[in-house]
Amino acid sequence: MMRTWKRLGLESSALGLGCWPVSGTWNDPDAARGWIGVTDEESIRAIRAAVEHGVTLFDTADTYGAGHSERLLGEALRGRRERVLIATKFGHTFDEERRATLPEVDGSPAYLRRAVEASLRRLGTDRIDLYQLHIWDHPLERAEEVVGALERLVDEGKIRTYGWSTDRLAGVQAFARGPRCGAAQVMLNPFEGNDPLNALCEAEGLAMLCRSPLAMGLLSGKYDGGAALPKDDVRASNFPWIAWFKDGRATPAFTQRLAAAREVLRSGGRTLVQGALAWIWAKSPAAIPIPGFKSVAQAVENARAMEKGPLGAAEAAEVSRLIGYVSREQ
């Protein structure tokens, strides 16, 4: 399964992999933003296995692991760079030496230029295929100056295209005015999404990278038993934007909704994970889910969802009904 990024004619697999989990844990003054149960060696093997199974898009951010995710991705893709697209993000500040998150965000053109050079160095590449603003609520009145700075980076060959990781419709509209804006990153899974934003991406020809396609792992069905994750896992952080877990445990209301749609998601010999990804493909022809992974097995399971393709229209509608899909418009 492939996707053509219509604005620019780029092509990628219909599934990418999100590289936040492979960053592991790092220092954060507020709460854990990392993931437990991951090693660099397994992560590198997983990335390379995904490439062999047809994945040609990898999404990361400079702040993941305070630069560690980018460095690891660059190492894993050494000798494979020409086979894939690399997406990364900017805007959150961090101390790479101390591997620590800092509280400030910075979306200024001056910071953007320093950030892209640092990301290129960590990734070990001469260009970034998709460069994304990572500040959800960056002021809309400053979007034009960010787009201008990104357009200059395209002219210089440092990036190929750009987008905004946000669920704010007005934000994606502002970026889409840029002639070489090629994508947006939005939240979409069978529990919730933003239908007007999905429609905008389709109308504007933007590739739609879908973050949290598995609701941070809840849609795998592995957390139904109620066991708590360690406190240094981001899913135990109680950040308000993580609804699927509370105090490190799967939220019962969501596990019950998943149970209602379990059999339809598993139709056609799919796993629950593959069913959730197949629902996203049925939802929009622009959708490119980017599930996270922490092992070779998870990366391959995600990749092999492409072998079965999207759910049929009737199946997808039934999942939406049973699971109680909600469009949260912003």
Catalytic residues: 64
Tokens for 259, please give them: 């149970």
Question: How big is the CA angle at 85 (ends 185 and 192), to the nearest 5 degrees?
Answer: 25
- The tokens describing 319, both together, are 């999942």
Task: Please state, in angstroms and rounded to a whole number, the distance separating the CA atoms of residues 241 and 197.
Answer: 18
Measure the CA–CA gap between 141 and 135, rounded to whole angstroms. Answer: 14
In three-state secondary structure terms, 107 is coil
Both tokens of residue 296?
């070779």
The sign one gets for the Cα dihedral 62, 64, 67, 71 is negative
Spatial contact of 64 and 20, defined as CB atoms under 8 Å apart: yes
Backbone angles phi, psi at 39, to 5 degrees: -125, 155
